[in-house]
Structure 1
Amino acid sequence: MSLPYQKVLLVGATSGIGAALADKLVENGTFVIAAGRRKENLDKFVAKHGANKAAAAVVDILKLESIPKFASSIINEHPDLDCVFLNAGVQRGIDFTKPENVSLDIVYDELLANYLSHVHLTKAFLPHLSKQDKQTALLYTTSQLGLIPMKRCPNYSGSKAAMHGFILALRSQLKDASSRVKIVEVYPPAVQTELHDAKNQPDLKNGHAIGMPVDEFADEVYQRWVNGEEQIPVGTAKPMFDAFENKRQDYYESFNAEMDKVLVDFTV
């Protein structure tokens, strides 16, 4: 089996999970547009695979005002784009027992990178994906910490929980509208990437060695994506998901079905 998508835009492809998944996609015959801030890494990716299999686009998703122009540029250059994978994100340790040391700029940038930018990107690309006469897809990398927060990363955990809630509601809205856009959520465990290195989290030592090997993670995500899964919890995220998230989503479905009935008389 293979993916039904011809061309994937992967935002957050310059390192770590995104880079590994971009390689995996190209190796299995999917054209990848790799996007991110580090042009040198993007250029290496295209050189590695060739311009007939890969392209690159520089974007800083923290600059929300630039996202509509970025999306228009991608769509104009690649009208056959049928899948967008939003993978970019940052993680910071924040200690509120020392509030004088908490940088609200860091808090805001983390929310921008992990949540607000993804909402903006969703709005920007959804019209293009929705008008296709075939199945298209939006994928999101969230985290096991969106299910169970980790105390050293309260803001990161909160941003991923917000993203998870957004994705659940978005999937329901599109299914209710009989949309052809498939919504897929990937829940990573800790993975051996730059996310934990000293540049991003100076309070950690040898952080790049924390978690699951990134290629092993990418292999599992790709195979389960090919198999058609809409929710892909990996590694330590899977027992968390199985223990309570399935049940929570049953409640989510029944609650929203009831609210749909209640709101009939109040909806304009």
Structure 2
Amino acid sequence: MNEVRLKVFITGASSGIGLALAEEYVKRGAVVGLVARRAESLGAFAARHPQSSISIYPADVRDADALADAARRFIAEHGAADIVIANAGMSRGVLTGHGDLDTFRAVMDTNYFGMVATFEPFVASMTAARRGTLVGIASVAGVRGLPGSGAYSASKAAAAKYLESLRVEMRPQGVSVVTIAPGYVRSEMTAHNPYPMPFLMDADRFAAKTADAIARGVRYATFPWQMRIAGMLLHALPRWLYDALFERAPRKPRAGE
């Protein structure tokens, strides 16, 4: 009898959280489809795991047609996906009024519209089969608007609300939607943050906990767990107190700073 293997599609898989998730699912024996802009990184990953079933699709999640093509190829080769993880993301320091409009658009196109574009090609096959899980990587940074991170906070807040809407929408169709909200995870994205990062978690540990949470069928999870409490406290702060505490908080540098 043939072993049934999990089929997992992951965006932003060339580094950071996405790469760690790819490693975790390969370790668990899954068939994986990996999307990222850096083709050489995807190729190197596949070369490190010659005995695993890995399909790579070099693409930018801001290109919806390229994402749809990758999804079609994955489904044609492996069948309907069991898990689709919209992980691709970027973080850029921005300041309104300083010529950063293009940066705002790039961050929103990647972190929010890229998530929508990742899920779109898989919904029909999942609803037809009445099974499957769509997973979106949000962020604790979406709980409140952080100074200098207006693009990132807004994009992650939008992603979280989209995932919540989608979860309720897909439930009658038999499709699960999971929101994962990381705190600080060690990666290229956080490597140059010029401020303290409490409860910083290694990416491989984050990936293992995320895969476990998805397998359990949770709706929403925050890792590390301490950041769930921090997020709840941030959410509960009255606006006057939040403003007073954060108006002088360190911010992520803009490009070139």
Partner residue, 1:172:
168
Partner residue, 2:23:
23
- Give the aligned CA root-mean-square deviation in angstroms: 2.6
Question: Cα deviations across residues 114-150 of structure 1 (Å, max 9, x unaligned)?
Answer: 00121122222111221125x3111010100112232
Q: Per the alignment, in what secondary structure is the counterpart of residue 189 of structure 2?
A: helix
The structure-2 alpha-carbon separation of the partners of 1:48 and 1:111, relative to structure 1 and needing over 3 Å to count, comes to: same
The structure-2 alpha-carbon separation of the partners of 1:206 and 1:33, relative to structure 1 and needing over 3 Å to count, comes to: farther
Question: Cα deviations across residues 200-238 of structure 1 (Å, max 9, x unaligned)?
Answer: xxxx45999993221222222222223332211112431
1:245 CA drift (Å): 7.2
Partner residue, 1:121:
118
Q: Aligned equivalents of 1:102 and 1:220: distance in 2?
A: 39
Q: Aligned equivalents of 1:47 and 1:144: distance in 2?
A: 34
Q: 5 Å matches for 1:252-263?
A: none
Q: 2:218 is aligned with what amino acid?
A: E
Q: 2:222 is aligned with what amino acid?
A: P
TM-score normalised by L of structure 2: 0.81
The structure-2 alpha-carbon separation of the partners of 1:68 and 1:196, relative to structure 1 and needing over 3 Å to count, comes to: same
Q: 2:202 is aligned with what amino acid?
A: P
Q: 8 Å contact 1:7–1:82 — kept in the other structure? A: yes
TM-score normalised by L of structure 1: 0.78
Q: 8 Å contact 1:94–1:154 — kept in the other structure? A: yes
Residue from 99, 102, 117 that aligns with 1:102: 99
Structure 1, unmatched stretches of 5+, are 199-203, 247-268
Q: 5 Å matches for 1:93-242?
A: 93-96=93-96, 99=97, 101-132=98-129, 135-175=131-171, 178-197=172-191, 204=193, 211-235=200-224, 236-240=226-230, 242=232
Q: 8 Å contact 1:83–1:129 — kept in the other structure? A: no
1:6 CA drift (Å): 1.3
Partner residue, 1:262:
none
Q: 8 Å contact 1:5–1:82 — kept in the other structure? A: no
Q: Per the alignment, in what secondary structure is the counterpart of residue 120 of structure 2?
A: helix
Q: Aligned equivalents of 1:41 and 1:150: distance in 2?
A: 32
Q: Per the alignment, in what secondary structure is the counterpart of residue 176 of structure 2?
A: strand
- Kindly tell me the number of residue pairs found equivalent between the two proteins: 232
User: Identity over the aligned pairs, expressed in percent?
Assistant: 26
Which moves more between the two structures, 112-121 or 13-22? Answer: 112-121
1:181 CA drift (Å): 1.1
